[in-house]
Amino acid sequence: MAVPKKRRSKSRKRTHRSLWKIAMPTMATCKNCGVLHIAHRACTACGYYNGVPVLQIKQKADKKEG
């Protein structure tokens, strides 16, 4: 089994761990409706991808007061 030959110092350990971060996904503007969505994915608001409808999005029914 592999065992480290030397102890890793606190500063080296923390420097190494500082690179472990979650990156924000690249966002793009929908050409159809103008809403931000994740790049290279279909728009969750209108269902279009690259100007072509690929998903059918269900519309929420408005609640009427009364």
More confident residue, 32 or 63: 32
63 domain-assigned: no
> Does 39 fall in a domain?
yes
Confidence of residue 61 (pLDDT cuts 50, 70, 90): confident
Gap between the Cα atoms of 11 and 25, Å rounded: 29
Take residue 52 and report the two structure tokens written for it. 């072509």
Query: Do the domain assignments include residue 36?
Result: yes
- The answer on pLDDT for 59 being more than 90 is no
Residue 35 DSSP symbol: -
Does a structural domain hold residue 2?
no
Q: Which amino acid is at 44?
A: T
Residue range 3-57, pLDDT digits in tens: 999 999 999 999 998 888 888 899 999 999 999 999 999 999 999 998 899 988 8
- What is residue 66's predicted lDDT score, i.e. its pLDDT? 58
Closest CA relative to residue 60, chosen from 45, 43, 41, 38: 45
Number of domains in the chain: 1
Q: What residue numbers bound the domain in which 34 lies?
A: 25-58
**7 phi, psi to nearest 5 deg:** -75, 140
